[in-house]
A and B are shown apart, each in its own frame.
Chain A
Amino acid sequence: MHEFLTAGIIGISLGAQYALLALGFTLIFGILGVINFAHGGFYALGGYVAYAAVSQAGLPFPLAVLVAVVATAALGALYERFLIERLVDDHLATMMLTLGLYLVISTSLLAVFGPQSPEFSFPVKGTLRAGTLYLPLENLVVLAVCAAAIGGLWLLIYRTDFGRALRALADDRRVAMTQGMRPGLLFPLAFGLATGLAGLTGALVTPILALSPSAGDPVLVTSFLTVILGGLGSIAGAVVAALIVGFVEAYASVYLGGSTGALILFVTVLVILLARPTGLFGREIRGA
């Protein structure tokens, strides 16, 4: 029972961070129709920017996280505005542009920071004791920030004019444009919002997990899994699927060991792609 609860807490904390990543990924697909292969790159970049802000500039960790969010959001928005925007309706071209960006980001990180994982640790240490259960504080902080970010994003998408405009563009771009929505402005903002979320996750999580130039590789794979499971483009689906992926990963590592959990997830995703490409919870958002 004890083991079960501990794994559950790890699962929910993993799920929360996967949700942040998947939300960004699914936003970009839902609104622009673009598969962002650079998503893991923004995660790694966020981690390194936060690391540099702490170790080089001596900023306190929360401020460093903020710097990382701003930097990754700005890079994403600019890349969308000046490069992706030109070919936004060509799915092959946008995949090549984001894949190219990922290769450039990870190689740049390698060139600047070297292949070794830098010493970057979470500022909050210690454990919280609840009965016989020990909760690592750092996981709780990550969980709280992720939950707040997910809540904030939900408010932004469903309770503001900006969010309404984005959803209108995702629903039907042409109709939305005749209603006065301006993709030239909204697309970069949406892309920046999504890459900023990836940067936030990277800055928060890499001090706990590990920071390396290729830290984005598994992130991209997990984002793929999560958004396919939840339905490409579906926001609620991404959150639910992220929690499922988090729990499966946590429990499989305790009870099954090795790569069995990953294999189960991958095969599930394969079956979903073949049988129901709209995902477990999604509806057809965009016929790509």
Chain B
Amino acid sequence: MEARSPSRWGAQEWAAVAIFAAALAVPWATDDLLVHSIVNRVLIGAMAALSVFIMLRMDLLSFATPAFMALGGYAAVLLAMNGVTEVLLIVPASFLVPALVALPLGALVLRLRGVYFVLVTFVLTEILQLVLFMTPRLTGGADGLAGFPAPTLLGTELSDARSVLALAAAMALLAAAVTAALTAHFRQHFAAIEENEVLAESLGLVVWRYKAMGFVVAAGIAGMAGFSLGNMLLTVHPTSFGAQQAVDTIVYAIVGGRGSILGPVAGAALLVTASDFLGNQGQYAPGLFGLLLILVTLVARGGIAGAVAALARRRRAPRVAAAPAAAPGAARGGA
């Protein structure tokens, strides 16, 4: 099966990677700190949303993203506090620690499907919150960890605004490339699991293997996002990794569109920017997110990416689009 699976990247995978590659140029294109801050938060949000996206490819909705973000973030910061500041070491660590935790955890939780999986991931995030609060010696407890040394690249300190953003962009680029490689390589496997897991299994697909792989990679990407968040805020703190973050991340992925890798990127870009535009009205952002979530669920199941794809199809083939036959594709999310 593997030999025949086309692991070639489509236009969307290339586009996603190109977007993050372009983000690498932002720190040098402008010195505007507001732009830096927004782009940095978009990059982190997009990474976290990519983690949710991978799980959604297998029809699993995960509230555990913040838990894995916390594992990656705390692991990287603890390394830095113990003298290991080299990004070539701590970035892989922020990926590997949550990924290694996800491997045995996956063996337990991936047997669950539908709402039970949702509930168990919700519980995992709550448990990790409690564990963080209850282990003040290791994790700083309610104070979190702050004042850790800046990461270094081959001896050069990455502490100014420009290199913080560049590091965030590089990690997001890596996350997008890994997500693209995984979801493109296993496109058909994931699609079969999403469509009908029992059928896929009965046709000989070793379902748990692909689900475990997806879960582990999703955890690792979330971990990198966690480190990126800590590096931007200069602190890792339990409140950065709670249920609220799980909800935000899910909203990015769903509103952006679960059918394409561009969806979570678009969702994070749009919603992080939108909450920034609310400025000191920022406390109302959840209401906006909620309305968009309801709207997308009711009228545009493919989210922004799905709607744009449907629009593009319609422009390319105006005659077909004139017939109502184009609608079901759009409703299913296209892509």
Pairwise interchain contact A274-B112, C-beta atoms closer than 8 A: yes
| CB proximity to B under 8 Å, residues A231-279 | 232, 258-260, 262-263, 266-267, 269-270, 273-274, 277
User: What residues of A have a CB within 8 angstroms of the CB of B291 in the complex?
Assistant: 100, 104
CB 8 Å contact bits of A125-136 with B (1 = contact, 0 = none)? 000000000000
Pairwise interchain contact A106-B286, C-beta atoms closer than 8 A: yes
Pairwise interchain contact B284-A270, C-beta atoms closer than 8 A: no
CB-contact partner of A96 in B112, B123, B297, under 8 A? B297
B86 at interface by CB-CB < 8 Å: no
Closest residue on chain A to residue B283 by CB atoms: A110
Pairwise interchain contact A104-B131, C-beta atoms closer than 8 A: no
* Known contacts A92-B61, A95-B61; A35/B119 CB under 8 A: yes
Q: Within the complex, what minimum Cβ distance (angstroms) separates B212 from chain A?
A: 15
B75 at interface by CB-CB < 8 Å: no
A171 at interface by CB-CB < 8 Å: no
Q: Summarize A's interface: helix, strand, loop or mixed.
A: helix
Q: Which of A44-52, A83-91, A150-158, A192-200 contacts B (4 or more CB under 8 A)?
A: A83-91
B204 at interface by CB-CB < 8 Å: no
| CB proximity to B under 8 Å, residues A2-45 | 29, 35
Query: A277–B59 Cα gap in the complex (Å)?
Result: 19
A228 at interface by CB-CB < 8 Å: yes
State which size class the interface on A falls in.
35 or more
| CB proximity to B under 8 Å, residues A87-128 | 87, 91-93, 95-97, 99-104, 106-108, 110-111, 115
* Known contacts A87-B297, A92-B61; A104/B287 CB under 8 A: yes
CB-contact partner of A263 in B59, B112, B127, B243, under 8 A? B127
User: What residues of A have a CB within 8 angstroms of the CB of B284 in the complex?
Assistant: 107, 110-111
State which size class the interface on B falls in.
35 or more
| CB proximity to B under 8 Å, residues A43-75 | none
User: What residues of A have a CB within 8 angstroms of the CB of B122 in the complex?
Assistant: 224
Closest residue on chain A to residue B113 by CB atoms: A288
B177 at interface by CB-CB < 8 Å: no
Pairwise interchain contact B115-A91, C-beta atoms closer than 8 A: yes
Pairwise interchain contact A274-B120, C-beta atoms closer than 8 A: yes
Query: A111–B284 Cα gap in the complex (Å)?
Result: 8
B83 at interface by CB-CB < 8 Å: no
CB-contact partner of B283 in A115, A263, A288, under 8 A? A115
Residue of B122, B254, B296, B297 ringed by the most chain A CB atoms within 10 A: B297
Q: Within the complex, what minimum Cβ distance (angstroms) separates B136 from chain A?
A: 11
User: What residues of A have a CB within 8 angstroms of the CB of B243 in the complex?
Assistant: 217, 221
Query: A102–B290 Cα gap in the complex (Å)?
Result: 7
User: What residues of B have a CB within 8 angstroms of the CB of A221 in the complex?
Assistant: 126, 243
Closest residue on chain B to residue A267 by CB atoms: B127
User: What residues of B have a CB within 8 angstroms of the CB of A103 in the complex?
Assistant: 247, 286-287, 289-290, 293
Q: Using CB atoms and an 8 Å cutoff, list the residues of chain A in contact with chain B.
A: 29, 35, 83, 86-87, 91-93, 95-97, 99-104, 106-108, 110-111, 115, 217, 221, 224-225, 228, 232, 258-260, 262-263, 266-267, 269-270, 273-274, 277, 288
Q: Using CB atoms and an 8 Å cutoff, list the residues of chain B in contact with chain A.
A: 59, 61, 108-109, 111-116, 118-120, 122-124, 126-127, 130-131, 133-134, 243, 247, 250, 254, 283-284, 286-294, 296-298, 301
Q: List 16 A-B contacts (CB under 8 A).
A: A91-B114, A93-B297, A99-B250, A103-B247, A103-B286, A106-B286, A107-B283, A107-B284, A107-B288, A259-B133, A263-B130, A267-B127, A270-B120, A270-B124, A274-B111, A274-B112
Q: Supply 20 further A-B pairs (C-beta < 8 A) apart from A228-B119, A232-B116.
A: A35-B115, A86-B298, A91-B115, A92-B59, A93-B297, A95-B61, A96-B294, A97-B298, A100-B289, A104-B291, A111-B284, A111-B287, A221-B126, A263-B134, A266-B130, A267-B127, A270-B124, A273-B120, A288-B113, A288-B115
